Amino acid sequence: MSRILIVDDEKPVLRVLRRLLEEDGYRCSVASSVHQAKNLLAKNNFELLLTDIIMPEESGIDLLRHTARNYPDVGLIVVSIVGDESVMQDALDVGLYGYIVKPFEPNQVRVCVENAFRRRKLEIDNRRYRSNLEKQVEERTAALQANLAKLTETEAKLRKTNQEIESI
């Protein structure tokens, strides 16, 4: 069962999102501050983070950056009333999977979350594939270097033998 962390300083928004996503079978945790969210992230394995941007004390952008840096496998979605292009660009630069503008429709949230999980899976699969590919390249490069060393050694022996034969 996929785990989602929902962060918003507005309790009604937390309740609505939690109920909606739990009805769809997700396990949800909620936080009403960035500080609380960071603590939950440190103690739990979440697949997805839904966060507001404007909150007291710390910004949701700070939480997005913290999450992207420390938990790269967590998908990021913003749920906010903010329509400011510079704020949206800051959020997009972190690597958002989606941006939901309040007030939202339930289906809009569902589609965004489903797409985020699909994208997250593709990105994780892609990272694994690249990692395996890099490992194969390293192994084959090492094997080629070992073969080259053997060939160089054999070539040197053949030259020596050839010189001995020519000197006879």
Long-range contacts of 80-84 (CB under 8 A, 24+ apart): 80/52, 80/53, 80/54, 81/54, 82/53, 82/54
Give the model's confidence band at 84: pLDDT under 50 very low, under 70 low, under 90 confident, else very high.
Answer: low
Which of 83, 84, 23, 16 shows the shortest CA–CA distance to 50? 16
Q: Give the chain's domains with CATH numbers.
A: 3-126 (3.40.50.2300)
Has residue 1 got a pLDDT over 80? Answer: no
Q: CB atoms < 10 A from the CB of 2, how many?
A: 16
When the pLDDT of each residue in the chain is averaged and rounded to a whole number, the result is 92
* pLDDT tens profile 95-134: 899 989 889 999 999 999 999 999 999 998 998 999 899 8
Query: Span 27-33, mean pLDDT?
Result: 97
Has residue 72 got a pLDDT over 80? Answer: yes
